[in-house]
Structure 1
Amino acid sequence: MQPTFVLVPGSHAAGRCFTALQRELALRGHRSLAVDLPGHGTAGFSTAYQTQDLAAFADEPSPTAGITHADNVAHVAETVRRVRKHGPVILVGHSRGGFVVTSVANAVPDLLARTVYVSAWCCVTGTAADYLATPAFRSPDTGAEIVASRSALDPNESRDAGTDVVDLATWGGIPHSYVRLTADASVPLALQDHFIEEADALTPGNPFDVHSLPVGHIDSLLQPTDLAEILAGTADYREGAR
């Protein structure tokens, strides 16, 4: 049975950031569903923001105010439950979306055929704060990338990324893939490789299936032909250990 790719966006992004990728997946005969996390997408733009009513906008609460990582995880887990009724689910996270992918995989491992991290956070031995303090992370200059992707971004983002790390008993049993973006300035390649190395050390019998693309952080979403080919390939062995 064909799987459905459930796509989880990164920081400030909504499901619309995957429009081009979904087109490429559809052209290859694959179903996909892009998720709007709570407070994002249609919920992320108020009337005051759209009309540039600065006075009203100044008094308006953020659409993400009060939204926690746990809320994001609950939302995606429920989406996965609904999609799983119609076939296998491959859960894909880009960038900050990796936090949610890990937590959902810990929570409902039996509902997932595979997880895929696209230059995404995959905390194994510590929280995000711990990784930010390592030499593998450096502060990037992402100005050009942000300009190129601005139309797909929401103005607000929840600050809570949770503290979950991968769980050997749950996450560790799900086949997982990592797509390295070797020119990424937002999630440095050294940090991506650090995630992969630590995860493989934890699950030596179920290592990451690793792919590499010579592009920046959002290039694979703007021009997603190669990423779509990689994802389509993961569907060929989607049942894995499950």
Structure 2
Amino acid sequence: MKKTISSLLSAVLAVFACSSCAKSDEPTISKANTYVLVHGAWQAPYVWDAVRADLESKGNKVIVAELPGHGSDHTPTHKLSLDVYTSKVVDVISKTDGKVILVGHSMGGMVVTNAAEKVPAKISKLVYVGAFVPASGQNLGELSQSDPDSKLGPQLVLSADHLTLDVRREALTALFIGDGSQAAKDQVLANYRAEPSIPFGDKVTLTNASFGSVEKVYIKTTQDVVISPGFQKKMIAAAGIKAVYPVNTSHSPFLSQPHTVSDLLIKIAQ
């Protein structure tokens, strides 16, 4: 009888052991995250469409913030400022449950930096994608003019009322998406709007207690001619960002290599 019971126990234990082994071989399912994506200058939410679809297909929540004066928003240009942009993003973040991964591209780097100063406790990671990273007291105009290798400056045209900046149409796609498909380039041209200029002069005020407390990551665009790789490296070093992921793309990787960007954002979240 004792031998029979012992055999039964051994069999049961073997079943549990095999069950454990099977479970350990199963792929780990990543926890769903909430991403807030912020576009850059002369662009709009459409640029994130493919990245958003990728992230959502893997169970993540994605919110693409439309900055005032961009896309379908027609706030008068004289009413726009960096704080107006920031308020929009902070409002989006504040309405979400839990923390978010906040992602900013180009000029959007100024916005997400300012937002991180306002609501640091709501941001699990701050991700810059070929973006400006200001120090306290800096503005976008000052930063952009400090990049000696940028090809953007000579192609800008200030409006007569000084409220908007245009990029010469013949240079637009070469600057922003030189490595993209013709379809992507056509999309950029079709959605182009002049950029409000007032926010370029607005300075950020940052503190170690708020902005400094947020974990930061940089996705470096190594073929970029709008924000040169050398200048990106300089900003990364000045901000003390340790996690850097290079992508071999132009200024708009979410249009030329969206799957690379979405895969990186998922990796960064883990």
Identity of aligned residues (%): 25
> Which residue in the other structure is 1:116 paired with?
127
Describe the shift of the 1:219–1:135 C-alpha distance in structure 2 as closer, same or farther (beyond 3 A): closer
Structure 2 length normalisation: TM-score? Answer: 0.71
Q: Does 1:81 align with 2:78?
A: no
Residue ranges of structure 1 left out of the alignment (5+ in a row) = 45-61, 201-206, 237-242
Match runs of 1:1-242 below 5 Å: 2-44=32-74, 63-83=76-96, 85=97, 87-124=98-135, 126-134=138-146, 136-140=148-152, 142-145=171-174, 146=176, 148=185, 149-161=188-200, 162-164=202-204, 166-200=206-240, 207-236=241-270
Letter in 1 for 2:103: V
Letter in 2 for 1:179: I
Structure 1 letter corresponding to 2:249: V
SS at match of 2:68: coil
Query: Which structure carries more relative contact order (alpha carbon 8 Å, separation 6+)?
Result: 1
Q: Which runs of 5+ in 2 are unaligned?
A: 1-30, 156-170, 178-184
Amino acid at match of 1:34: V
> Would the aligned equivalents of 1:80 and 1:111 in 2 still touch at CA under 8 Å?
yes
Q: 1: CA distance between counterparts of 2:197 and 2:39?
A: 13
Q: Which runs of 4+ in 1 moved over 4 A?
A: none
Q: CA deviation at 1:156?
A: 4.2
Q: Is the 2:130–2:232 contact (alpha carbons within 8 Å) kept by the matching residues of 1? A: yes
Which residue identity lines up with residue 68 of structure 1 in the other structure? S
Whether the aligned pair in 1 keeps the contact of 2:108 and 2:131 (CA below 8 Å) is yes
| C-alpha distance in structure 2 between counterparts of 1:27 and 1:111, whole Å | 24
Is the 8 Å Cα contact of residues 2 and 88 (structure 1) preserved in structure 2? no
Cα distance in 1 for residues equivalent to 2:113 and 2:35? 16
* CA apart distance, 1:137: 4.6
- Using the size of structure 1 for normalisation, the TM-score is 0.79
The number of residue pairs the alignment matches comes to 211
CA contact (8 A) 1:131 1:137 kept: no
Higher Cα radius of gyration: 2
Q: 1:151 to 1:165 in 2, by over 3 A?
A: farther
Distance 1:21 1:188 in 2: 23
Q: Match of 2:25?
A: none
Partner AA of 1:214 in structure 2 = N
Q: 1:133 to 1:234 in 2, by over 3 A?
A: same
